[in-house]
Amino acid sequence: MSLQTDIKGQIKEAMLAKDQLRLGVVRGLVAAFMNELVAKQRKPTEELSDDDVLSVIRRAVKQRKDSIEQFKAGGRQDLVDVEASELSVLEKYLPQMMSQDEIKKVAEAKKSELGITDKSKLGQFVGTLMKELKGKADGADVKAVAESLF
């Protein structure tokens, strides 16, 4: 069963459990899946690949994190709490991310493979790492590890 079908099925589970938070988040994801299909000029009844589904979920996670930062800056703790609880629901659908130690091992190997010695090629190095670790590591963590190597 595809990830999209699994998430659609969780609408019913959330309704039966009377879990309004999860229900709202899952409904939002299903709507985002349809929007993604329309953006790709496909029929809304078709299914996204699991990679596309994960990218939609990652986008939703990033939006929640940005909102949390903005609400904290504005002093709206009530909205921070709502966004944080939605974020925790969304993160359950994502695969486990690599730790900074794991990223560092890959980054050191890639640095010696590419022969990068100075900080002027940092952008290129981070880009190469992001392509290699796509979906496995958080971009902010990858950037922090790459900068620490120089």
Query: pLDDT of 52-95, one tens digit each?
Result: 888 899 899 999 999 999 999 999 999 999 999 999 999 888 88
Task: Tell which CATH classification among 3.40.50.720, 3.20.20.70, 1.10.1510.10, 3.10.350.10 matches the domain 3-91.
Answer: 1.10.1510.10
- What tens digit of pLDDT does each residue of 122-137 get? 788 888 888 887 777 7
Look at residue 48 in the predicted model and tell me its pLDDT. 86
Q: Are 142 and 130 in contact (CB under 8 A)?
A: yes
CATH 1.10.10 in the chain is located at: 100-148
> Tokens 């496995």 identify what position?
136
Lowest mean pLDDT among 3-7, 59-63, 74-78, 103-107: 103-107
* CATH architecture under which domain 100-148 falls: Orthogonal Bundle (1.10)
> Percentage of residues in the chain with pLDDT exceeding 90?
40
> Are the C-beta atoms of residues 93 and 10 closer than 8 Å to each other?
no
d(CA 123, CA 43): 38
Alpha-carbon distance 119 to 43, whole Å?
46
- 4 and 46 Cβ atoms separated by less than 8 Å: no
What's the token pair of residue 78?
A: 């009530």
Decide which of 138 and 70 is more confident.
70
124: left (phi over 0), alpha (psi -120 to 50) or beta: alpha
The reported pLDDT for the residue numbered 77 is 94
Q: Which residue has the higher pLDDT, 118 or 105?
A: 105
- The residues of the chain that CATH labels 1.10.1510.10 are 3-91
- Whether residue 109 is predicted with pLDDT greater than 90 in this model: the reply is no
pLDDT exceeds 80 at position 121: no
Mean pLDDT of 97-114: 80
Q: Are 129 and 142 in contact (CB under 8 A)?
A: yes
Looking at residue 28, its pLDDT comes to 93
